[in-house]
Amino acid sequence: MPAEKTGKFEVKEERIDTQAIGIMPCDIGQLQVFATNGQIPEKVRTALARPSSARTALSIAERELNDLQQRIQALRREQKDIRDNMGALDRKSQGYERFEKKLLDSETQIETLQKQLDDKREGVTKLRKDLEDYLGQLSVE
């Protein structure tokens, strides 16, 4: 407006809302809802698709890791029972030899499962690190 004049002009106000969510502790179902919700901007849905699938893969790997740990624990309990039974038998009896073979077979199973457990731990660590690295550099505007 020129000096000493009055006038009218239109002002538009804009409000930008932001929302932050913690993706690592977030429920997988909730992430999938965010990634597919049509009310959320496309950029955000696209950015959440990768962490959603990565969290699913991580959860599956963690569950498999837990299953391996439980199988090893069950075999160790079984070994204790075998040793108890062996202690009640004469070392030269067929029963003792049978339990001895069973104990050795069990130990072989544990060694195999332990290797799988170590590999699975490495896989879980890598999946978690990859997801954390992605999230650490993620910015959606």
Q: Is residue 15 part of a domain?
A: no
pLDDT 10s digits, 77-129: 999 999 999 999 999 999 999 999 999 999 999 999 999 999 999 999 999 99
Q: Is residue 9 part of a domain?
A: no
Helices 28-36, 42-87: inter-axial angle, 10-degree rounding: 160
Q: Is residue 130 part of a domain?
A: yes
pLDDT 10s digits, 51-67: 888 888 999 999 999 99
Q: Is residue 11 part of a domain?
A: no
DSSP 62-120: HHHHHHHHHHHHHHHHHHHHHHHHHHTS-TTSHHHHHHHHHHHHHHHHHHHHHHHHHHH
Residue 96, domain extent: 28-137
In which element (H, E) is residue 4 found?
Answer: none
Q: Is residue 10 part of a domain?
A: no
Q: Is residue 3 part of a domain?
A: no
Q: Is residue 16 part of a domain?
A: no
pTM over 0.85: no
pLDDT 10s digits, 121-139: 999 999 999 988 888 888 7
Domains in the chain: how many in total? 1
Residue 79 token pair: 């070994």
Q: Is residue 106 part of a domain?
A: yes
pLDDT of 22 > 80? The answer is: no
